[in-house]
Amino acid sequence: MTDDVEVLPSTESARRHLAPGDVGLVAPRDFVSSHPFTFKSGQVIPGFTLRYETYGQLNATRDNAIVICHALSGDHHCAGWHTPDDRKPGWWNNLIGPGKAVDTRRYFVVCANVLGGCQGSTGPSSINPETGRPYGILFPFVTIRDMARAQKLLLEHLGIAKVHAIIGGSMGGMLALLSTIEFPGFIRRVLAMATTGRESAQAIAFNEVGRQAIMQDPAWNRGDYPKEAGPRVGLAIARMMAHITYVTDASMDRKFGRRKKDGAHADAYTFDVQFEVEGYLRHQGQSFINRFDANSYLYITRALDQFDLAHADGSLEKAFAPVDAETLIVGFTSDWLFPPEQNRSLALALLRAGKRASYAELSTDLGHDSFLLESEELYALVRAFLERDEPYEFDYAI
């Protein structure tokens, strides 16, 4: 057995703070590759780092790994707590842990911050060894394929012989699907949620508005800015606008309606915060700029725009030709960023290519972020897909 999770000492405070199903207190680790890495663009960096976390134990046959792929604004910290004083656990803590849908008593779970990111992995904010300064926009353009190749090197470093399943939502779903195409025979199952084979013009347009908000901020300075400064206003606006695409009118109306902030007067003529929803969006923007790099936002959203599974081969069916993993695609009825028909088309293409594929569509009014929220129906679906031993047809129609 190999236990690659670093568990911090338990304290009375931690025991009070942690729920029984949590993986506990965890710490990230760094995988450092000292070999030159060539991007799809042909650009080369002398090496890279991926920050990652693991939960559970790798079994003797080294084939019980579950790889978690994060979305645009996510990172490697998908479960557990870094300190007893943390206000929130990892972003998918509701799904991952002992006895949960992704059961860490059974699986060895790995999640890495993507190449191009800013949470410990090599990206635009990392130091360029040739200049001694952050790469900024001299960092190579990164693609989802580059992310997949870097992640594969990490998994080999961890001694994983075969991945039991790779799971991701949104951008994470793209990464999961492409990994299955790129590395056939290495991944048994793929579970992609709220994702797409390529972004629509509308999704690209939203990303461009966010990029322009950043690049038109004078503090962006063509990507050359101090670590603790930079285009904070532009990045906050980009986050506020993007967050609106992750939810729905119904969910925002239910949560905020037209309620005014405490102290706001109905007849006040001011541009200060008047409505609760305004305060919520400003909070989203402010919290985001404290943890995310603006250049990484530019690079990753461009990687999303360029992602197109069918382009090189002419069709999704041809793109999926190498796949030998069993696939489950999950769409959400209220997702208008990557709507159900885009998810369904992936499963249909896999079936037409002769692959083992299923599609599930869950009814929700929570929008694109539905895959992150608590849902017993989703948990049951994930657990069944991961734990069954024989092929099983889900009772969901395509």
Q: Which of 281, 301, 321 delimits the end of a domain?
A: 301
Rounded to whole angstroms, how far apart are CA atoms 145 and 143? 5
330 and 291 within one domain: no
355 and 218 within one domain: no
284 and 323 within one domain: no
Query: For the chain, how many structural domains are there in total?
Result: 2
| pLDDT exceeds cutoff 70 at 105 | yes
145 and 267 within one domain: no
Instruction: Report residue 380 CA to chain centroid gap.
Output: 21
Query: pLDDT digits over 287-342, tens only?
Result: 999 999 999 999 999 999 999 999 989 999 999 999 999 999 999 999 999 999 99
Q: Which of 8-17, 94-103, 156-165, 380-389 shows the lowest per-residue confidence on average (mean pLDDT)?
A: 8-17
186 and 329 within one domain: yes
Strand-pair partners of 19 = none
Tell me the residue range of the domain where 219 lies. Answer: 206-301
Residue 190 contacts residue 168 (beta carbons within 8 Å): no
269 and 231 within one domain: yes
**229, part of any domain:** yes
pLDDT of residue 361: 97
Query: pLDDT digits over 84-102, tens only?
Result: 999 999 999 999 999 999 9
Query: pLDDT digits over 229-245, tens only?
Result: 999 999 999 999 999 99
Backbone angles phi, psi at 348, to 5 degrees: -60, -40
pLDDT of residue 264: 67
**236, part of any domain:** yes
**395, part of any domain:** no
136 and 10 within one domain: yes
Could you identify the residue written with the tokens 């990230």?
28
156 and 54 within one domain: yes
Pair of tokens at residue 243: 């967050």
Q: What is the mean pLDDT of residues 148-152?
A: 98
The residues annotated as belonging to the active site are: 170, 335, 368
pLDDT range class, residue 272, cuts 50, 70, 90: confident
Pair of tokens at residue 299: 């690079």
100 and 134 within one domain: yes
Cα-based angle 291, 295, 301 (whole degrees, multiple of 5)? 95
Query: pLDDT digits over 155-186, tens only?
Result: 999 999 999 999 999 999 999 999 999 999 99
pLDDT of residue 2: 37
| pLDDT exceeds cutoff 50 at 153 | yes
Query: Which comes out higher in pLDDT, residue 261 or 33?
Result: 33
What CATH number did the domain enclosing 244 receive?
1.10.1740.110
What CATH number did the domain enclosing 321 receive?
3.40.50.1820
192 and 103 within one domain: yes
| pLDDT exceeds cutoff 90 at 228 | no
**392, part of any domain:** no
**306, part of any domain:** no
Angstrom distances, CA of residue 345 to CA of 76, 170, 191, 342, 368: 29, 15, 15, 5, 17
pLDDT of residue 15: 53
pLDDT range class, residue 154, cuts 50, 70, 90: very high
Residues 6+ apart with CB under 8 A from 86: none
Is the model's pTM score more than 0.85? yes
Query: Which comes out higher in pLDDT, residue 369 or 263?
Result: 369
| pLDDT exceeds cutoff 60 at 398 | no
Q: What is the mean pLDDT of residues 212-219?
A: 98
Residue 111 contacts residue 52 (beta carbons within 8 Å): yes
Three-state helix/strand/coil letters over the chain: CEECCEECCCCHHHHHHCCCCCCCEEECEEEEECCCEECCCCCEECCEEEEEEEECEECCCCCCEEEEECCCCCCCCCCCECCCCCCCCCCCCCCEECCCCEECCCCEEEEECCCCCCCCCCCCCCEECCCCEECHHHCCCCCHHHHHHHHHHHHHHCCCCCEEEEEEECHHHHHHHHHHHHCCCCECEEEEECCCCECCHHHHHHHHHHHHHHHCCHHHHHHCCCCCCCCHHHHHHHHHHHHHHHCCHHHHHHHCCCCECCCCCCCCCCCCCCEHHHHHHHHHHHHHHCCCCHHHHHHHHHHHHHCECCCCCCCHHHHCCCCCCEEEEEEECCCCCCCHHHHHHHHHHHHHCCCCEEEEEECCCCCHHHHHCCCHHHHHHHHHHHHCCCCCCCCCCC
Q: Which of 273, 301, 329 delimits the end of a domain?
A: 301
**398, part of any domain:** no
Residue 131 contacts residue 117 (beta carbons within 8 Å): no
| pLDDT exceeds cutoff 80 at 267 | no
**363, part of any domain:** yes
**394, part of any domain:** no
Q: Which of 301, 331, 360 delimits the end of a domain?
A: 301
237 and 95 within one domain: no
157 and 245 within one domain: no
